[in-house]
C-alpha cells in the first residue's frame, strides 16, 4: 500500500545573517494512513522544519515530499493553500485562534475557506472536545486548555487525512496537557486519520504507533509498531 506521507532524501538549510544553518540533512521516512507518529528531539533539531515541509509551507533544497501522491514542490502558492485546506489540519503551540471570533466561528473558518460551512458539524466537533457549552465564547473567555481544544476542533473541521501538531501542549499545565493530548490522539485515531505530533510529552509513548527522534537534522532512531527499513535517514 502506498504511504500517505513519503519524505525522500530531503535536505533543508536556512541562511541567518552570514551563516548557513542545516535544518534537515538527507532525511527519508514513510508514514502510512492512520498512523500516529511522535517526533521528538532537542530544540533546533529540525522538527518544525519537517512539519512545515509536509504542510507545504516551505520547500526542501533537495529531495521530495509527497503526500497522498502529490509532489508538494510542484504546487503553486494557490494550489499549496488549497492542499492545506483540503488535506491538512494543523494544531500549533500558540493556538492561533482569531480573537474577534467565537469558538464556533473559529471552527467554521476552515470550512468557509472551502465554501462549505457546516454549523452542525462545527457544533459536533466542539462537543467532541467537550466545549459544546462554550461555543459562543471568545478566545479571551477561555482557558489555555480550552483554546487548544478549540484549535483541535478547528484542525478536524474539513476531515483532513493528515493532522500536524507542533508542540500542542507546550503552553499548558500538566493536567490540561494530558487532557488535550488524549483528545487529540483519540479524535484522530477514531477517524482513521494520520497524526504527526511534535512533542516533549513522554506520556504519549503508549498512544502512538511510531516514535522518531531527530538530532542535528537527522533521524537518529525509530521505534514503535510497524517500523521498517523504509523509515530511515542517512547518517
Write down the domain spans for the chain.
Answer: 5-233
Q: What share of the chain is helix, strand, coil (3-state, %, to 5)?
A: 35, 30, 35
**Which residue did the predictor score with more confidence, 206 or 46?**
46
pTM score of the predicted model: 0.89
Closest to 99 measured CA to CA, from 168, 42, 150: 150
The radius of gyration of the chain's CA atoms, rounded to the nearest angstrom, is 17
What's the rounded Cα separation, in Å, for the pair 47 and 24? 9
Q: Are 102 and 136 in contact (CB under 8 A)?
A: yes
pLDDT of res. 208: 86
Report the pLDDT value the prediction gives residue 40, as an integer from 0 to 100: 92
- In which band, very low, low, confident or very high, does the pLDDT at 205 lie, cut at 50, 70 and 90? low
Choose among 210, 179, 141, 213: nearest CA to 3. Answer: 210
More confident residue, 37 or 204: 37
pLDDT digits (tens, 9 = 90+) for 5-16: 999 999 999 987
Q: Is the pLDDT of residue 212 over 50?
A: yes
pLDDT score recorded for residue 225: 53
Element of type H or E holding 53: helix 47-54
The residue ranking higher by pLDDT, 229 or 171, is 171
Q: What is the pLDDT of residue 198?
A: 93
Q: What is the pLDDT of residue 194?
A: 96
Architecture of domain 5-233: 3-Layer(aba) Sandwich (3.40)
pLDDT digits (tens, 9 = 90+) for 113-138: 899 999 999 999 999 999 999 999 99
Cα-Cα-Cα-Cα dihedral of 113, 116, 119, 122, to 10°? -60
Mean per-residue pLDDT, 149-176:
93
pLDDT greater than 60 at residue 146: yes
Instruction: Please compute the mean of the pLDDT values over residues 83-99 and round it to a whole number.
Output: 94
| pLDDT, position 204 | 57
Distance CA 48, CA 198 (A): 8
Q: If pLDDT is split at 50, 70 and 90, which confidence band does 227 have?
A: very low
Query: For the segment 23-78, what is each residue's pLDDT rounded down to a tens digit?
Result: 999 999 999 999 999 999 998 899 999 999 999 999 999 999 999 999 999 999 99
Residue-wise pLDDT for 94-120, tens only, equals 999 999 999 999 999 999 989 999 999
Asked if 212 and 29 count as a contact pair (C-beta separation under 8 A), the reply is yes
pLDDT of residue 206: 60
Amino acid at each position: 500500500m502506498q504511504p500517505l506521507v513519503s519524505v525522500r532524501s530531503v535536505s533543508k538549510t536556512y541562511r541567518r545573517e552570514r551563516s548557513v544553518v542545516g535544518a534537515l540533512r538527507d532525511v527519508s521516512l514513510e508514514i502510512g494512513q492512520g498512523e500516529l507518529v511522535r517526533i521528538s528531539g532537542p530544540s533546533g533539531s529540525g522538527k518544525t522544519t519537517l512539519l512545515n515541509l509536509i504542510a507545504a509551507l516551505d520547500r526542501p533544497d533537495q529531495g521530495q515530499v509527497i503526500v497522498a501522491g502529490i509532489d508538494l514542490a510542484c504546487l503553486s502558492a494557490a494550489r499549496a493553500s488549497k492542499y492545506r485546506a483540503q488535506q491538512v489540519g494543523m494544531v500549533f503551540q500558540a493556538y492561533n485562534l482569531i480573537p474577534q471570533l467565537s469558538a464556533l466561528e473559529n471552527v467554521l473558518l476552515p470550512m468557509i475557506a472551502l465554501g462549505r460551512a457546516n454549523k452542525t458539524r462545527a457544533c459536533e466537533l466542539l462537543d467532541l472536545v467537550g466545549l459544546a457549552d462554550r461555543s459562543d465564547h471568545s478566545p479571551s473567555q477561555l482557558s489555555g486548555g480550552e483554546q487548544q481544544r478549540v484549535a483541535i476542533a478547528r484542525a478536524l473541521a474539513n476531515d483532513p487525512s493528515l493532522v500536524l501538531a507542533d508542540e500542542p501542549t507546550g503552553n499548558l499545565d500538566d493536567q490540561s496537557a494530558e487532557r488535550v493530548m488524549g483528545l487529540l490522539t483519540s479524535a484522530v485515531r477514531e477517524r482513521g486519520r494520520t497524526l504527526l505530533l511534535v512533542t516533549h510529552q513522554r506520556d504519549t509513548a503508549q498512544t502512538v504507533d511510531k516514535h522518531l527522534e531527530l538530532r542535528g537534522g537527522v533521524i537518529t532512531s525509530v521505534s514503535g509498531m510497524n517500523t521498517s527499513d523504509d523509515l530511515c535517514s542517512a547518517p
